[in-house]
């Protein structure tokens, strides 16, 4: 089920989970400027899409928000943690971020149940607890009948649902999805959209989805539009 779209700028700085100020990131000794002074805030529980043409800086932005890239200029704060030069980004990712990738990025040798358990190794849960939690997560995305299947035996849509279940493994505060429907047919894409919508509604989870798909963007609360490394409109809520 997909939530209705709400007006942007509804949040205040007091409940902002993400605060981005004058974010700049360049590569090849400043020859390529991927992000040029991006600023926005995202409230706790908000479902935001990021759209823009190829090369506009969407993936760079997502990598920075996911603490996969901490060498940037400006300020990025997520859940009161400043990400610039974060000393232990893996620990932060493990506790705060869930990732969903366009290419699923499941481990081919492991079953669906085992794939979902992988992030849980960073928590002090016993093997039996990890297994129970993973099974429950797979059930929540409608894959209770596919627990022991390896990725090669699953359809594209099923693989993405396994990846979504995995992203929720450590109960993150923020879910980042990079083109989650990009490799799927329309029917599978719709199913993924329903799953993401249901997660957002049930868990009140903050979600940011990078997409080219207008249907996906329409299902979110707000859309950030990027072009040439800059946001097209001001995205900071009044009073922030």
Partner 1 sequence: MSFFQLILKNLLRRRSRSLLTLGGIAIGIAAVVSLSGIACGFERSWANVYKARGTDLVVTKSVTRSTMPGPFPFALKTELQKMPHVREVGALLSDVFSIEDSPTILVIGWEPKTSLWNHVKLVSGKWPEDSSKGTVALGTLNAEMLGKTLGDKVQIESGEYTVCGIFSSSALAESGAIVMPLPAMQSLSNKEGMVNFFDIWLEPNTSAEETEQLRRSIKAKFDGLTAFNPGSVAENNIAMQIAKAMTWAVSSIALVVGAIGVMNTILMSVFERLHEIGILLAIGWRRWRIMQMILAESLLLSFVGGLAGCGLGVVAARLLQMSPWVHGKLEADVGLPLLGIALLIAIALGALGGLYPAWIGSRMSPATALRQ
Positions in the binding site for partner 1 (CB under 8 A): 63, 66, 68-69, 88, 90-91, 93-95, 97, 99, 101, 105-107, 109-110, 113-114, 117-119, 121-122, 127, 130-131, 166-167, 169-170
> What is the C-alpha separation between 64 and 59, in angstroms, rounded?
9
Closer CB to partner 1, 109 or 136, in the complex: 109
Query: What CA–CA distance (Å, rounded) separates 178 from 234?
Result: 22
**Least separation in angstroms between CB 96 and partner 1:** 9
- What minimum distance in Å lies between the beta carbon of 121 and partner 1? 7
Please say which residue, 7 or 85, places its beta carbon nearer to partner 1. 85
Q: How far is the CB of 185 from partner 1 (least distance, A)?
A: 24
Q: Which is nearer to partner 1, 43 or 98 (CB)?
A: 98
Between the two ends of the chain, the Cα-to-Cα distance in Å is 31
Residue 172, CA distances (Å) to 168, 192, 230 in order: 6, 19, 28
Burial of residue 149, with CB atoms counted within 10 A of its CB: 0-12 exposed, 13-18 middle, 19 or more buried: middle
Q: How many helices (H) and strands (E) does the chain have?
A: 7, 10
CB of 143 to partner 1, least distance (A): 17
The CB-of-223 to partner 1 minimum distance in angstroms stands at 24
What six digits make up the tokens of 39?
């600023």
- In the complex, the smallest distance separating the C-beta of residue 127 from partner 1, rounded to whole angstroms, is 5
Please say which residue, 28 or 233, places its beta carbon nearer to partner 1.
28
Is 159 exposed, middle or buried, given 0-12, 13-18 or 19+ CB atoms closer than 10 A? buried
State the nearest-atom distance from the C-beta of 195 to partner 1, in Å.
Answer: 18
C-beta closer to partner 1: residue 16 or 100: 100
DSSP output for 155-223: -HHHHHHHHHHHHTTT--SEEEEESTTTTS-HHHHHHHHHHHHHHHHHH--EEEEE-S-HHHHHTSSEE
By CB atoms closer than 10 A (0-12, 13-18, 19+), residue 234 is exposed
List the structure tokens of 137: 């997560």
Q: Which CB sits closer to partner 1, 83 or 169?
A: 169
The nearer residue to partner 1, 87 or 239, going by C-beta atoms, is 87
């Amino acid at each position: 089920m997909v939530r209705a779209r709400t007006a942007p700028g509804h949040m205040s700085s007091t409940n902002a989970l993400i605060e981005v100020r004058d974010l700049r990131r360049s590569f090849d000794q400043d020859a390529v400027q991927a992000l040029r002074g991006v600023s926005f805030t995202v409230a706790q529980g908000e479902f935001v899409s990021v759209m823009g043409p190829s090369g506009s800086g969407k993936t760079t932005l997502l990598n920075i928000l996911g603490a996969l890239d901490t060498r940037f200029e400006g300020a990025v704060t997520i859940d009161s943690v400043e990400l610039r030069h974060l000393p232990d980004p893996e620990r932060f990712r493990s506790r705060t971020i869930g990732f969903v990738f366009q290419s699923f990025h499941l481990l081919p040798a492991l079953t669906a149940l085992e794939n979902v358990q992988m992030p849980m190794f960073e928590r002090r849960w016993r093997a039996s607890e990890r297994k129970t939690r993973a099974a429950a997560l797979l059930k929540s995305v409608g894959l209770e009948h596919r627990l022991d299947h390896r990725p090669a035996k699953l359809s594209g849509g099923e693989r993405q649902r396994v990846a979504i279940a995995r992203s929720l493994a450590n109960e993150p505060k923020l879910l980042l999805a990079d083109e989650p429907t990009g490799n799927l047919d329309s029917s599978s894409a719709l199913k993924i959209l329903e799953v993401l919508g249901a997660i957002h509604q049930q868990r009140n989870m903050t979600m940011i989805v990078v997409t080219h798909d207008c249907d996906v963007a329409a299902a979110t609360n707000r859309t950030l539009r990027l072009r040439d490394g800059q946001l097209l409109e001001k995205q900071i809520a009044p009073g922030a």
